[in-house]
Amino acid sequence: MTKISLVPGQPSEPWEYGLLGGLLTIPLTLFGYWQTGSEMALSPILAGGLLAGYLAKRNTGSSRGIGIRAGLVGGLPILLALADILTATAGLSGPSWFVASGTALTVGVVIGGGVLAFGLAAGLGEVGARIGGWLAGTNDRDNTRAGGG
């Protein structure tokens, strides 16, 4: 069921849960990147998707599309790692053909890596949301309705 908002610019319910799950993971992902300086742990995105999927399933009855949104929002620290790649290669020197080809290669790697990393983050968020939705569906209320308890 979609929520009709009277206030323009207010996010819909899927985005509310996706933002909740994603925004909670950003500090954890940033902290992990800050500790290592070179590695981006995406496991908090799985946990954020799990939380978002659980809450969405409990409150709205569906967790469809929540995990992708949570993963994309939670993956925003990936931009920091991509910016680090760009700044590391900004000091290229040598012949102009070398600098031009190095710059083109760097831009290609950043774009390709960004697409791959955000795709992975969205996939992990969706896996987490499906697990969270499954956990929300296996509660005591369902057992009592079925006569199991």
**In this model, does residue 6 exceed pLDDT 70?**
no
Write out the DSSP string of 82-107. Answer: HHHHHHHTTT--SSHHHHHHHHHHHH
pLDDT at site 144: 46
Whether 2 has a pLDDT exceeding 60, the answer reads: no
Token duo for residue 78: 């990936």
Tokens of 7: 């206030």
Instruction: At 125, list the tokens.
Output: 């968020």
Q: What is the pLDDT of residues 86-129, one digit of tens each?
A: 888 888 888 989 988 988 999 999 999 999 999 999 999 999 99
pLDDT of 23-63, one tens digit each?
999 998 888 888 887 788 888 999 999 999 998 888 887 77
- Chain-centroid distance of CA 34 in Å reads 18
Confidence check: pLDDT of 4 > 80? no
| DSSP alpha helix (H) spans, the chain | 13-36, 43-60, 66-74, 78-88, 96-137, 140-145
Q: Can you tell me the distance from the alpha carbon of 101 to that of 110, in angstroms, rounded to the nearest whole number? A: 14
pTM above 0.85, yes or no: no
Residue 85 near residue 110, CB atoms below 8 Å:
yes
Among 87-91, 110-114, 133-137, 139-143, the least confident range: 139-143
Is pLDDT above 80 for 147?
A: no
Looking up tokens 């600098």 gives 99
Residue linked to tokens 């995105």 = 45
What is the C-alpha to C-alpha distance for residues 147 and 22, in angstroms, rounded to an integer? Answer: 37
Exposed/middle/buried for residue 65 (C-beta within 10 Å: 0-12, 13-18, 19+): middle
